[in-house]
Amino acid sequence: MRQRIITWLREQCGFLVCFCGPLALAALLNGAVRPALARQLGGQRHAWSNTRGSDNWYEFTPETQREHPLLTGFLSWHDGAVSMIALGLLVVLCLGWAVLVRVSRRRARLRAGR
């Protein structure tokens, strides 16, 4: 039983990375990286909350926006937008993984002479 689980995990490793990677990245960005960057730049946190969850974004002074346009632009996005981008990346990676698996299986069948 244990060997079957290990074998299954090895076979599904690519899928698990494609699935868990973007979600973990979005959680890390929204939970730790973005608040720390906004705090260092002196950003003002805005939050919206209801029974389904909360959403955060940051606003900066015009001087800070001129000095760091890309960073302040990224930090002004809502947490939900970052999560949706990660979800889109997840879909793209899973589709790419599925295509690679299908191509490799087809090549293996052709090599085997089927």
Q: What is the pLDDT of residues 63-82, one digit of tens each?
A: 999 999 999 999 999 988 99
For residue 114, the model assigns a pLDDT of 65
Domain map (residue ranges) of the chain: 17-112
Give the DSSP letter string of 24-91.
Answer: HHHHHIIIIIHHHHHHHHTPEEEEEEETTEEEEEEE--HHHHHH-HHHHHHHTS-HHHHHHHHHHHHH
Q: Residue 84 pLDDT > 70, yes or no? A: yes
Is pTM beyond 0.85? Reply is no
Q: What is the mean pLDDT of the chain?
A: 88
- Write out pLDDT tens, residues 24-68: 888 898 889 999 999 999 999 998 877 777 788 999 999 999 999
Residue 11 has pLDDT above 80, yes or no: no
